[in-house]
Structures are given as C-alpha cells and as structure tokens.
A and B are shown apart, each in its own frame.
Chain A
C-alpha cells in the first residue's frame, strides 16, 4: 500500500452539561462542580500521548464537541489548540469548531473562544419555537437563540447551527415557516435533524409509553424534501443526510468522518480511527469522565478498546459513511482505505438493482452516490448493498 499521509482531524470531547436533554444519547454528564484544571490537563496529556503514536502529520481540523464544550474555559481550549498546533503541522486554513449552547453565559464568552483560536461555531439552537424548546428540554428561549446567533455571526468567520424537526404534531407548513426564519439568520451552514428516539433517553421512555408520536413514513419523507427545498432556496445545498452548506462551507471536520479519513478522538468516550502502517486502528475511550481522567493520569491514555479493523469491516464503514454524502464515494478511495476492491465490497446484483431503481447513480467522475430517494432510504439500502 502506498504511504498516503492523510491529514488528521482532531476531536476533543468535553463530557459535561448543565442538564441532560431528553432526546440526547451522547456521552454527557451533569456535575455540580467540574475540576476544570484536572480535566484540561488530562485532555492535554491524552493528546500528547496520541500525537506521539501517530507522528507528526498535517492537521486539518479541530472540533470541540460534547457534552457542552462551551462550558469549558476559553483558556483550556486555548491550551489544547496550542498543543495541537505544536504537535502537528496545522493547515494554513485549519478549521477549529466549537459547539456552544445559546445561553447568555456562553454567548458572553464567544469572543474569548475566538481569541483562543476557534474560527467556527456550531450552536445548539434546536428550534425557533418556544413550546418546542420547552419540549426539547432546552435551557434557552427563542430570544436568547437569536441573540446568540447574531453575536456569533459577528465574532466567527464561519457559523453553523442545529435544528431538530419532525417533532410530534409538526405540520409541514409550520416547519417551513420556522426553517425560513432560521435560514434568514443562518450564515453558511445548518444541521437539520429529524427527531430520533434513541434508546435509553427520557424520550424513549415517554415515546415507548405513547406520550407522543413522531411523523413517520410518508410524512417524514415529505418533511425531509421540504427541508432540502427551503435550504436550497437560500443557497444551502444538502451535502450530507442532515447537513446543508453553501459550496465550500461544508464542515471539513465532519467530512473527515464521512470520507472515512483519519481522526483522533480525545476525551471521555471519544472514538478514534487512524491508519497506522496499513492497519486501521479503531480506539474507544472510557466513557465515565472521572475514570477516564484517572486512567489518563496513570498511563497517558484511557483507551478501553482498541482493535485493528479487518479489511471487510473497513470497507463497510467507508461505504456506510461515504454514501451519506451527496458527493458519494470514489471506488478507488474505498479500496485505498480498506484494502478491499470496490467490486468485492458490494453485492453486484443488488448494486445493479439499486441503480436500476434510481436509488444509486454513477457520476461522470466515476463516483457512486445515493440519489435523494436513495439517501432517504439509506439504512434499508446499506444492508442489501454491502457484503
């Protein structure tokens, strides 16, 4: 295999939140008091440990996720960004994203994060409807959301925010109206997610006992198409299942996941995949923040699971991520990243059937992509397509 040095994407997880949202199944924890110095030091130590392992390489992006990383002090973020710049070769236009909630406390600190090196913010707005914000268990109101968006636009060159739609009883017309209002406030990127009931969440319990129902099937499909239509009207293109951007404004960090690139994951519960000497090493870290920190303090890292993925698994992962993108996959890259020729990674008869049904299409550049109708049914399509 040719020695291709992929630029790295670096993910840093801050596992604390002020409250657990009822729909969220991310690794987040609520604590009365967080020993910021301890967790900041542990993050820096784990970063140094992994950097020594993968060696010096180009660094394309940093992403502070969580949890709520905007609860971290800007100084901690600054130290981590500085470490990363020193340990790797940062790209000249390196993307540094911070997830933040639109509460007034966090908004007041956005400028300090910019000074720390953050150049892109992703705000958890979730809705521009008061009742919906309450239903979603958010700690901000519509006014705060708008204020945060306006502040962030002035501070950061690049800005994205999240909305959750296909909520219980949400009519298409109401969603279109809410989305148009959001688009008017948007900069160059939006993440628009249909509400999903994740196991183990508070919503799973409520939904399970019938407290509310979600739009499903044809209704959900209609909302999805309406979303893409409204976004396109504002020049935002659907480049991934739930992500919309102006051309060139796509999240470079998230593209690394979808293009099955190399990424480091630092912090409690973070995942990492790096191709090292031809082997794709997948790493998962301890989820409990205190235990994670204790392990890092003892041994420099808190990996609890590490395996070299088999070529067939790599091919599956590369395809299941890549077909989420409007650009689709490049068969040559699938082979380069997995070691499995594309023709062996898919079932040829099903590929033909899916092409025939217009769920999949070849581009002129020789890439395979899921059509809009195909992306809408991707979870059903993958198990039949992939070997």
Chain B
C-alpha cells in the first residue's frame, strides 16, 4: 500500500543538456538512497536502451522511487522522473513535466547554458515547476561557477545565488541535492477521496507483462482488479498489477494521490495507450480529463526500403515490433519504381527518424535505405479541398493546385560570437527570418523562424561545420505559412525516379536539382545507351546531365572451353538485373539510387 502522506512526497525531473551530467546525477541519487545495491548499479541505470546509453539521450520516460531520510528527521518518498530531452519528444517531455512539481536544472559549470536546456527549462516553468539550479562538474579546472550562475540569471531569469554546487562524477555534495529537493520543491496536491484521475505519462511493451503504463496519480487510487477507462479512447481494461519503480518493478496494493508508479492491464500494444491521456475509474468516471492531452502527430516523413528486396517481410515485422513500444511513429506500405517495396514512415522529428532507423539496423539487423525526409505540407486545391502531403510523389497536378502551406519552426541557436557571421548566412540562405539576437557574455543567442523543410535538408550538418561544432540548436514548431513550393522530379532516361523527387522552395529548386543530377552522373555506370538525367518542375527541365554510352566492353578471347563460363557469367549478370530498375531501354542498378540517397543523408 502506498499511503505516503502528500507532504512527504516529492516528484521531480532533471533538466540538462546532453553531457551535462543528468544520467550521472540520477545514478548518484539512486546510489545515495540505496535503491540499488552497489552490485546492481551500472552506468546510467535509467537509460535502458543500448542506443540511449550510447548517445547519452533519453528516449523513453523512466522513473525511480527513492526513499530519503532527511535532516528534519522525516523519511520522504522522492520520485525521480527521467524525461526525454530532445525537441522531437517535446510533447512527451511536457507530459513528464506535468507529472512533477519541480525540477533540478543541471548545468555544466564549465560549459554554461545550451539551447536545448533553455527550451526544456521554459517548458518546466510553463508547467509551473519550482526549479533548483544545480551546477555540476565544479571540480573541473575549467569550471566557472560564478559566470554560469550569472548566465542562468541573465538568460533564464532564475535566481541562481543558492545553486547547489556538485560533482556528480565524484559524488561531491549529493546530500545537498537531496536536501534541496526536500526543502525547496513543493509536495504534490491531490484528493484521496475524489474519483480516480491519473495521468498516463508513458508506456512501453514488456515481453512478460504486456504494456506497462507509467502513471502519476492525481486524485483517488489505482488498485489491482479495478476497471479503468482511458478517457480519450473510452477503452476499458482491468488492472492486473500496480506498483512502483525502485527502479525495478515492485508491485503494491494500490497507488495513491501524488504517487508515481506503473499499471499493467493486459494491454497488447502501446498504440492503445496515448501519452497524456487521463485514466479514470470505469464505474465512477471523472467528469473532466486532465488538461493538455493531444495525440502525437508525425512531422517528418520518409520512405524506408530494404536494400535487399528479400528483407521486405522482415522489415514489416520489425516495424510492427518497434511500434509495440513506440506508438508515435507511423508506417504504411508504399512502392517505388526505383527501390521496390517499402514503407512510408512518419516521425516526430529528425532525431526520432534517426533513432528508429538505427534501431532497425541495429536490433533487427536490417540494411535500409531512406528517401529524403519530407515535411508535411498542406496542399490547397482549386476545388477548396486541402490535404496533408507526406510524400512528394503524391503531389497533384499543377492545374488543380491552388497554394501550398509549409510548416515553420522557431529555432534557438546558441553559439560563440566568432561563428555568428557564417551561421547568420546559413539561416538566411535557408529562408530564415531573424526574430532575436542577444548576447550572454561572448555567447550569442539567435532566435530564427525557419521553414522546417530547409532544416530537414542537411541543416544540422551545415550548422555543425560552419560553427566547428560549437553551436547548439533547438526548435519548436511554429505554425504553417504559405510558400512558393514546387515538386522537383528527377528523370533518368526521361522517366521519373519516384524515390528521388522532392519538394523545395522555388528559389532553391535549380541548385538542388543540379546537385542531384551531378551526383547521379557520378553514380550511374555507363551503359550501352547514353542516358539523360534531368531535374524538372512539371514539364520544365531545370538541370540536365548526360551519361555517355560505354565505349568498350567485350571479352577478347572466347573459345570452346569458355562457353560454359561465359554462359554462367551471363546468367549471373541477368540475375544481377533483378536488382536493376528499368528506365526504358536502360537498366540502372538500384545501388546507384541507394548511393544517391545515402549521400543526401
């Protein structure tokens, strides 16, 4: 039974930039409160997935319940919520934050505030959090705690005078962090006698338990055997198990107000559990759900194809397995003349796309090719109808097209002053609109509005290279605006290659089209016939290259003994043609398109 009085509970999350020490601090807190024995400790306990640990990012929300006997003589329950830290998962972050009353803002005392920290800390402020600044890595020679404190006050507007000074790595002053949590963060509020109301924070699939739901109880209780209702879908389930995270799952009889824990209810896929949903009692439902629910909507789409056509079924199964655990990505089958059978997949953002792609190749051993990412355009037709375009191939004919809207983002870029010039040039080249330029010491903070489609096309790479890796970048969606957008088709031997078509602003069309034509000219081997390669908008060619015919390819010697060998070689070549795509009388190896797309990424 979790019947901890509300005033002895503290629910908190940790906000930090990648590498500023969030996971290490979480490890230390777990260790200091004895939640895990030394034998059970491993680095970054909360980042379960290999990929999370490797990239130092959190993808799934995690939580751990700590028990802390404080200096005031009382024993507190501290629920640490580890949240995804990336903009792609902004909605998940907002739900995690909604489950807590306070946050620790961890800042590297030698690095200072980064763009990503900023976005998350504003979200925490929006969520009404009390925030305790924590300066980490103060043991480093390069640490400048006073400068960073000043920066926190200047940039974020938080009082940092009594920031907790720690080194998570050495364990210095972890006690100070625990005391600050107890004394400076508020307890949760809630009504034990009210009808059940719990926030669905996250969910994941467990091979033994089925779907495990991470919840924060607001009012009432969740108990084993209770029939619960998901308020957004109306689906009803019977609770099989409730419990808390220590951080292993430990069953309890119930979960009470202010508590965090888990619920299992024989749910088969995470697609049946929507993050942000309200869980209530089926017989005695709450009148109103908790505020803030919204279904997750993919903003970036791309085609995923197996390099080996025989892997199509395996890809389908792997996507289904991944979706068991991540309902936020979408997929549907699609066919490409150039790449064969594959899937059109939707993601929350570029990192999400990258993570799914990487998990497919790593966990499922699939060799994949991704088409250029496309954002979701709102295509308005002359008949007044509007549809959302996920795939440039679905672009309607010019005659029925009225106008197109594209998504914009508001990007925050922090960087050393020295690189400001090239970064400004990059943003302007990408049709950016400057919103704000401020300085904190020698660091500039740029706020730009940018079309998302300019960002999905190698923006990160360019930003990294023009700033020598010193710029940090974060963004949030910032609505749709009409744009002069065109579909650019790539034609090989006068036939369009669907997988290579893309949308671009008219001002960028010729440059991008030329780039792809030149690239293909390099990649497509010379053949019997000369092959024109063109980029076109509708019927108008905007760039053209020609691959000349091969000049000589004939075996010099061929006599009686060579007939079998030549025939077998021929059969092999014909077999190889199965991997070719026919464009009129020429056949292009699929590998050329794959290489073209890989160079894009």
A91 at the interface (CB under 8 A from B): no
Interface size class of B (residues with CB under 8 A): 20 to 34
> B551: which of A217, A265, A354, A386 is its contact (CB, 8 Å)?
A217
Residues of B within 8 A of A196 (CB): 555-557
- Beyond A194-B556, A273-B560, A273-B563: 4 further Cβ-contacts under 8 Å? A217-B551, A271-B563, A350-B585, A378-B553
- Residue pairs across A and B with CB atoms within 8 Å: the count is 103
CA–CA, A254 and B554, complex, Å = 18
CA–CA, A377 and B553, complex, Å = 4
> Is B563's CB under 8 angstroms from A321's CB?
yes
> Is B570's CB under 8 angstroms from A241's CB?
no
Q: List residues of A (331-385) whose CB comes within 8 Å of B's CBs.
A: 349-350, 353-354, 357, 359, 375-384
> Is B527's CB under 8 angstroms from A380's CB?
yes
Q: List residues of B (553-601) whose CB comes within 8 Å of A's CBs.
A: 553-561, 563-564, 566-567, 570-571, 573-574, 577, 585, 587
Residues of A within 8 A of B558 (CB): 241, 257, 321, 324
CA–CA, A386 and B577, complex, Å = 12
> B567: which of A224, A256, A265, A313 is its contact (CB, 8 Å)?
A313
> Is B528's CB under 8 angstroms from A381's CB?
yes
> Is B570's CB under 8 angstroms from A320's CB?
yes
CA–CA, A324 and B573, complex, Å = 18
> Is B554's CB under 8 angstroms from A271's CB?
no
- Min CB gap A200→B, angstroms: 13
> Is B552's CB under 8 angstroms from A353's CB?
no
- Min CB gap A32→B, angstroms: 26
> Is B561's CB under 8 angstroms from A269's CB?
yes
Q: A220-B552, A271-B564, A313-B567 are in contact. Are A242 and B557 (CB under 8 A)?
A: yes
Q: Mark B42-77, 1 if CB is under 8 A from A, else 0.
A: 000000000000000000000000000000000000
Q: A257-B559, A357-B529 are in contact. Are A282 and B554 (CB under 8 A)?
A: no
Q: A282-B564, A284-B564, A384-B528 are in contact. Are A376 and B556 (CB under 8 A)?
A: no
> Is B560's CB under 8 angstroms from A380's CB?
no
CA–CA, A116 and B120, complex, Å = 97
CA–CA, A321 and B564, complex, Å = 11
> Is A217's CB under 8 angstroms from B556's CB?
no
Q: List 8 A-B contacts (CB under 8 A).
A: A271-B560, A271-B564, A313-B567, A316-B570, A321-B563, A378-B553, A380-B553, A384-B587
Residues of A within 8 A of B1 (CB): none
Q: List residues of A (247-285) whose CB comes within 8 Å of B's CBs.
A: 254, 256-257, 263, 265, 269-273, 282, 284
> Is A320's CB under 8 angstroms from B566's CB?
yes
A218 at the interface (CB under 8 A from B): yes
CA–CA, A352 and B526, complex, Å = 20
B550 at the interface (CB under 8 A from A): yes
A88 at the interface (CB under 8 A from B): no
CA–CA, A216 and B526, complex, Å = 13
> Is B551's CB under 8 angstroms from A376's CB?
yes
- Min CB gap A282→B, angstroms: 6
> B561: which of A195, A271, A321, A379 is its contact (CB, 8 Å)?
A271
- Min CB gap B564→A, angstroms: 6
CA–CA, A325 and B570, complex, Å = 18
> A320: which of B549, B552, B560, B567 is its contact (CB, 8 Å)?
B567
Most chain B CB inside 10 Å of its own CB: which residue of A217, A269, A383: A383
- Min CB gap A57→B, angstroms: 17
Q: List residues of A (208-241) whose CB comes within 8 Å of B's CBs.
A: 216-218, 220-221, 224, 241
Tell me if B's interface is mostly helix, strand, loop or mixed.
Answer: loop
CA–CA, A265 and B562, complex, Å = 12
Residue of B nearest to A359 (CB): B528
Q: A269-B561, A273-B563, A350-B585 are in contact. Are A241 and B554 (CB under 8 A)?
A: yes
A188 at the interface (CB under 8 A from B): no
CA–CA, A221 and B549, complex, Å = 12
- Count residues on chain A whose CB falls below 8 Å from chain B CBs: 49
Q: Mark B509-528, 1 if CB is under 8 A from A, else 0.
A: 00000000000000000011
A46 at the interface (CB under 8 A from B): no
CA–CA, A379 and B550, complex, Å = 11
> Is A263's CB under 8 angstroms from B585's CB?
no
Residues of B within 8 A of A379 (CB): 553-555
> Is A375's CB under 8 angstroms from B567's CB?
no
- Min CB gap A126→B, angstroms: 13
CA–CA, A193 and B574, complex, Å = 26
Residues of B within 8 A of A381 (CB): 528
> Is A353's CB under 8 angstroms from B577's CB?
no
Residue of B nearest to A198 (CB): B557
> Is A317's CB under 8 angstroms from B561's CB?
no
> Is B570's CB under 8 angstroms from A386's CB?
yes
> Is B551's CB under 8 angstroms from A218's CB?
yes
> Is B527's CB under 8 angstroms from A265's CB?
no
Residues of B within 8 A of A242 (CB): 556-557
CA–CA, A350 and B577, complex, Å = 14
Residue of A nearest to B557 (CB): A193
CA–CA, A80 and B552, complex, Å = 41
A11 at the interface (CB under 8 A from B): yes
Residues of B within 8 A of A384 (CB): 528, 585, 587
Residue of A nearest to B559 (CB): A257
Residues of B within 8 A of A272 (CB): 560
> Is A377's CB under 8 angstroms from B550's CB?
yes
Residue of B nearest to A216 (CB): B552
Q: List residues of B (526-562) whose CB comes within 8 Å of A's CBs.
A: 527-529, 549-561
Most chain A CB inside 10 Å of its own CB: which residue of B527, B529, B557, B577: B557
> Is B555's CB under 8 angstroms from A217's CB?
no
**Nearest 9 interchain pairs by C-beta:** A383-B573, A353-B585, A221-B552, A271-B561, A378-B554, A193-B556, A221-B551, A257-B560, A380-B553
> A241: which of B549, B551, B555, B563 is its contact (CB, 8 Å)?
B555
CA–CA, A2 and B573, complex, Å = 34
- Min CB gap B216→A, angstroms: 65
Q: A241-B555, A377-B528 are in contact. Are A263 and B560 (CB under 8 A)?
A: yes
> Is B528's CB under 8 angstroms from A357's CB?
yes
Residues of A within 8 A of B571 (CB): 316
Residues of A within 8 A of B567 (CB): 313, 316-317, 320
